[in-house]
Structure 1
Amino acid sequence: MSSVLVVSAEREVVQVIRSAFGPDAGVAHVANRYSALEILQRKRRDFVFIDISILREMSSHKDFKEALRPFWNLFPSIEIIVMAPREMIRQAVRAVKAGATDYLTYPIVPDEARLVAESIRESVLMESELEYLRNQQWKSDSFEFVKTRNAGMQQVFSKIRSVAPTKTTVLLAGETGVGKGVLARLIHRHSNREDAQFISVHCGAIPETLVESELFGHERGAFTGAIRKRLGKFEIAKDGTIFLDEIGTVTPQVQIRLLQVLQDGIFSRVGGEDVIATTARVIAATNTDLRQMSETGLFRKDLYYRLNVFPIEIPPLRERPEDIPFFTDFFLGKMNRLNPKSIHDIHPKVLEALARYSWPGNIRELENLIERAYILETSSVLTPESFPAELFEQEGTTSLPVNVSLPLAEARQQVVASFERQYLKELLSQYQGRVNRTAEAAGITTRQLHKLMRKYGLRKEDFKA
């Protein structure tokens, strides 16, 4: 049996909703917000149907999130349905985006009210079942990482749950900053190797001449500077997991040796003859198209097929804007634990701007942005003033302002300069401040790039991961 609270000045609405739920439902009626909160303090209700005008009165700034908060403070899981005239549908949609469960338009039809209630019940039941399965399959310290409303990421987590308990080699593919390292640790954490070593190797950050030694170790005297024997990461990993990030950057010689490890589970140290066996599980990651690289001869096809046993494609942040609130809450909580400040919320304008932004640096860029804003913020809410002004430019598009009071030539120069600066910022973010790769992608020399960076006050250090 459902218990319902109707908050409306119109008594006819109460009769319609009572007929929709049937005689067994407990339907109470109040005409204002004060009575609504008072009755909820005495008894929990499953559903609250509230007129949008009354909801708007509950916030001095017409902020629906603020208006809904008193209900959540009493019962975090309460289902709130907003009732609004057709001319206020946009306001009703805003209320739903702020956290209300659904909305109905006047005149209220019993069948529509019943349908909304039934769909909410089914949704709650499904979410409860999913939450139960998550609790059964995820470690308690992994809950923050597996929160998502994005269908693509739900498939990613489903694949991770399936492959984690196995010994299968996994290839994580996705843009820089999407969290491939975090997901690799999640796989290890939910495998039967969780008590063994997890070794992470960023192949792209190690000089080419040292990658082989880093992975497989070397004997004393194997090369100039090898003054003592050194164990490689495969040897240290033993029965654990080794994560090879940016696998597409390794040299052909290292590719041959990796192929031997994946095929036969054996290797030798550089300069050594002893054959060493390993049962380390390999998780590789790439931000490039390995298939295309193998087709053009830049990457061994046989190694690609060995790595691509269980591929997982991770969507970029721009394709999952509905998950941005999860990340911002997580990063805020992290910053609050590490600092004496206490910031608990983000201004709605900031969240709207974050949802519009293209995120070339993905989750890593979002974390850096939240951290900088946290440092600058002086209130208990992250406000627009603490974020870069570019974030709020014209609905997040790349259109540039034109000053029509200037002569054409001068106005053109202004627009070109603004475009060049924005272009270089996004490209430097994409390649994490690497001048050589940024210049190559832009089709200019490194000297030209340095000149442009000086012109627009850009420093490569500001774009490092």
Structure 2
Amino acid sequence: MRNFLLVSRDHEVLTVFEKSCTEKAGIFPCSSLVEALSILNSHRCDFLFIDMEILRRTARNNASGYKAALQPFWLQCPSLDIVVMTSQEMLREAVSTVKQGASDYIMYPVIADEIRLIINNLKDSQQVQSELDYLRDQFWDRDSAPFVHTECPAMNKVFEDVRAVAPTKSTVLLTGETGTGKGVLAGLIHKHSNRRDEPFISVHCGAIPDTLLESELFGHEKGAFTGAIKKKQGRFEVAHNGTIFLDEIGTITPSAQIKLLQVLQDGLLQRIGSEQDTRVNVRVIAATNEDLKQLCEEKKFRQDLYYRLNVFPIELPPLRDRKEDIPGLTEGFIRRFNRLYAKEIVDIHPQVIDAFLKYSWPGNIRELENIIERSCIIERSSILSPDSFPAELFVYDDTLTRIQMDTMLPLAEVRRRGIEEIERCYLKDVLSSNKGKINRSAEAAGVSTRQLHKLMRKYGLKREEFRR
């Protein structure tokens, strides 16, 4: 049995839908997006059919457009197929919604046969996607499956590379900004390799003093230096037959670079203070947030070592370039912290998701994880509200450059949206300057308090948000 969520104010549309459902199906009619989200919270639905005019009214108040207006539905039900019902006059906007993530559109007047056709097409697409996902998931173990789910083409390429290289013994070089998940990816490669039952040793090279780095990596003999009161195995020996992950590889000393090169070339190392070679069988995964090629040109990193490490490079994109994954990552972090802190958080406020999509995330996934953890600890209700997040998260770059120039829209519509965006930004600045005080804000804007209240309702602004 499949359930349909129908957002329309036209009763005739509901009648047509009832006629089109030859199989037993549940139809949940409503007249607003708020009501639709409430229904979706208590009933599982497979399809959402939404009137274009209703969707446009919601998207007007959101600078991110239709994608942000539909984001709460995907966050609540990631597999939901969304179909826009549109008139001929709004066809361009309907096409724009499809470009921003909707599954399809259907023209008015709605016909039962056409509804059945579009549903069957979407069912077929769901089946094909389900089979592809199943085949991909056969490679990943159960614990890794949530992590590897992505909507970002660049990350799909990353996971395809992981699937290709994990079963081999090749050296892997992970590059990307701090906080993009290089350590997690290294663990993923080991977990899906033939060495999965052997040790996985992680070493943060940048956190170990230069004087101790060689001892940590390669070990030492008793009496090799002051304080060496007994023989010690290095991390490479501990990782024998397994995998060693060398994070921040660009920070290691020149002498450690020479020894690492010998391990990669010959599988041999010498403990400090020993003249005897020790053979090790270790798969090396290295990571850096620096440009090793540039370091080679500056003579700060050995070129021959760089070529040995760069056998199979994988670059992780920053979070700002994969914002389509933010809802899924957020949901995963909430589930984890629910278990960790015995919470029962079931959702996150749409305003927070909107802020997440506008934020630049300089700390990448690690920053997102930390922010979610903090909010889960603070939050006392079942929904993460804006008050549980840092205020700076909601400070956007409200400039005219944020007005979206959608060439699929008529000039009049772009002009209308531009004027509304300018009004919204202006009101936010005025309210911020006056710390949310209505009388002062109205006086500064040259309008009455009644007009200001009306404009604030129109743009979804609350004075409490500006008292901070």
| TM-score, normalised with respect to structure 2 | 0.72
After TM superposition, the structure 1 = structure 2 runs for residues 88-99 of structure 1, keeping only pairs within 5 Å, are 88-91=55-58, 93=66, 96-99=70-73
> Which of 47, 69, 76 is equivalent to 1:79?
47
Output the CA distance in 2 between the equivalents of 1:343 and 1:153: 28
**Post-superposition offset of 1:328:** 1.5
Q: Deviations over 1:254-287 (max 9, x none)?
A: 1111111111111110111111111110000001
| TM-score, normalised with respect to structure 1 | 0.72
Higher RCO structure (Cα 8 Å, ≥6 apart): 2
Output the CA distance in 2 between the equivalents of 1:63 and 1:273: 76
Q: Determine the structure 1 residue equivalent to 2:22.
A: 26
Question: Residues 8 and 372 from structure 1, CA distance in 2 versus in 1: closer, same or farther, beyond 3 angstroms?
Answer: closer
Q: Determine the structure 2 residue equivalent to 1:424.
A: none
Q: Determine the structure 2 residue equivalent to 1:353.
A: 355
Output the CA distance in 1 between the equivalents of 2:198 and 2:242: 5
Q: Determine the structure 2 residue equivalent to 1:168.
A: 170
Question: Residues 176 and 63 from structure 1, CA distance in 2 versus in 1: closer, same or farther, beyond 3 angstroms?
Answer: farther
Letter in 2 for 1:179: G
Q: Determine the structure 2 residue equivalent to 1:70.
A: 42
Letter in 2 for 1:269: R
C-alpha RMSD of the superposition: 3.1
Contact 2:293 2:306 in 1 (8 A): yes
Output the CA distance in 1 between the equivalents of 2:123 and 2:389: 40
Letter in 2 for 1:204: G
Output the CA distance in 1 between the equivalents of 2:217 and 2:56: 60
**Post-superposition offset of 1:305:** 0.7
Q: Which runs of 5+ in 2 are unaligned?
A: 60-65, 74-79, 88-107, 403-424, 435-468
Q: Deviations over 1:123-150 (max 9, x none)?
A: 3123212221133111111112111111
**Post-superposition offset of 1:306:** 0.6
Among the aligned pairs, what percent are the same residue? 53
> Which of 101, 126, 129 is equivalent to 2:81?
101
Output the CA distance in 2 between the equivalents of 1:7 and 1:91: 13
Contact 1:16 1:108 in 2 (8 A): no
After TM superposition, the structure 1 = structure 2 runs for residues 30-45 of structure 1, keeping only pairs within 5 Å, are 43-44=24-25
Contact 1:178 1:314 in 2 (8 A): yes
Output the CA distance in 1 between the equivalents of 2:394 and 2:207: 34
**Post-superposition offset of 1:70:** 3.3
Q: Deviations over 1:31-73 (max 9, x none)?
A: xxxxxxxxxxxx446xx6x76xx242xx7xx36432432331x
Q: Deviations over 1:402-430 (max 9, x none)?
A: 9999xxxxxxxxxxxxxxxxxxxxxxxxx
Contact 1:357 1:396 in 2 (8 A): no
Q: Deviations over 1:211-237 (max 9, x none)?
A: 111000001111111111000011010
Question: Residues 7 and 146 from structure 1, CA distance in 2 versus in 1: closer, same or farther, beyond 3 angstroms?
Answer: closer
Question: Residues 401 and 3 from structure 1, CA distance in 2 versus in 1: closer, same or farther, beyond 3 angstroms?
Answer: closer
After TM superposition, the structure 1 = structure 2 runs for residues 227-238 of structure 1, keeping only pairs within 5 Å, are 227-238=229-240
**Post-superposition offset of 1:89:** 3.1
Question: Residues 68 and 267 from structure 1, CA distance in 2 versus in 1: closer, same or farther, beyond 3 angstroms?
Answer: same
Output the CA distance in 1 between the equivalents of 2:342 and 2:296: 51
**Post-superposition offset of 1:191:** 0.5
> Which of 255, 262, 265 is equivalent to 1:263?
265
Q: Determine the structure 1 residue equivalent to 2:215.
A: 213
Question: Residues 10 and 373 from structure 1, CA distance in 2 versus in 1: closer, same or farther, beyond 3 angstroms?
Answer: closer
Question: Residues 215 and 112 from structure 1, CA distance in 2 versus in 1: closer, same or farther, beyond 3 angstroms?
Answer: farther
Q: Determine the structure 1 residue equivalent to 2:279.
A: 277
